[in-house]
Amino acid sequence: MIQPSAKTAIDILSHLQDKTNPAILAYWVTPNTILTLSGARAYCDGVFYYDDKKVLETWTKEMADSIQVLESITEIYFAEAKIDKTNAKEDYAGYDVVMTQGLQYVLEQTTLLGPETHTLLTQNLRGEKLIDALRSLLKEKEQLKHFNKENLNHIAFGILVGYPDKAILGSVTEWEKDDPFAEPLIDADIRGSWYYICPKPVYSYPRHLVTDSKINTHEQLWSSILKDYYTSDFHQILEKNLDFQKRVEVLGLNR
């Protein structure tokens, strides 16, 4: 098993920059994506807003082209670039990516799935089909049978994005209670998770787990990957590039 590291993300992005240009990297350096490129989780998404549909089309083309380049650099399980709408009907350009290395890692880390999960690695399930397959496997587990479809989907997604098992089950269990007097959930301490604005890679868990050793180790791993990446010579040089700076600004990534 390959251990997640900032170096893995840097190696991928360095090759991407060599084959494209610094501005393109602005799509791929947000915290949730860095953690995925590092191998710490399977799934990441990009979400970029603009009020001109033609600009969104240009961004989508650039993301699609850069995905093709990424596929020549590392193994990608599934990826697509698209224009979509939020629930509020706001247009955005974005991507969904599942990295093979990250998928292997999260499937090895979780105890919520059985040994049959290795078959998922060869099926190349697209989009929701991967969540559906994970949900079916989860439903076969005796301790999870009582969860409804929506919460099994939450568990499946939590696995894909690399959350700790205890955090996933603790949160979903509290959500299912729908009790205003239930134990509050707290956010994981992921340092650097707001370095750029993106779908924030922070999970929740019941407060009594705040000193849980596995969750603390996980928080420290993700925080260290983000710190190692954003303080690296590679990213600090990238941040000084004017084309990169302009793209970060127009994408609305600055805090």
Q: Which of 145, 162, 137 is nearest to 214 (CA)?
A: 162
Q: Give pLDDT tens digits for 100-127.
A: 999 999 999 999 987 777 778 878 787 7
208-247: b (≥16 Cβ within 10 Å) or e? ebeebeebeebbebbbebbebbbeeebbeebeebeebbeb
Residue 31: predicted pLDDT: 98
Residue 48: predicted pLDDT: 96
Paired with 83 in beta bridges are 93
Residue 46 lies in a domain: yes
What letter would DSSP give residue 70?
H
Residue 128: predicted pLDDT: 84
Measure the CA–CA gap between 240 and 64, rounded to whole angstroms. 25
Q: Which residues of the chain have pLDDT under 50?
A: none
Paired with 46 in beta bridges are 95
Q: Give pLDDT tens digits for 48-80.
A: 999 999 999 999 999 999 999 999 999 999 999
Q: What SS3 class is residue 106? A: helix
Residue 89: predicted pLDDT: 81
Measure the CA–CA gap between 223 and 113, rounded to whole angstroms. 26
Residue 187 lies in a domain: yes
Q: Which of 98, 85, 79 is nearest to 39 (CA)?
A: 98
Average pLDDT taken over every residue of the chain: 94
**Contact, 170 vs 206, CB < 8 A?**
yes
Residue 182: predicted pLDDT: 85
Residue 1 lies in a domain: no
- Total domain count, the chain: 1
Residue 75: predicted pLDDT: 96
Q: Which domain holds residue 205?
A: 6-251
Residue 179: predicted pLDDT: 84
Tokens 């990957």 locate to: 225
Residue 212: predicted pLDDT: 97
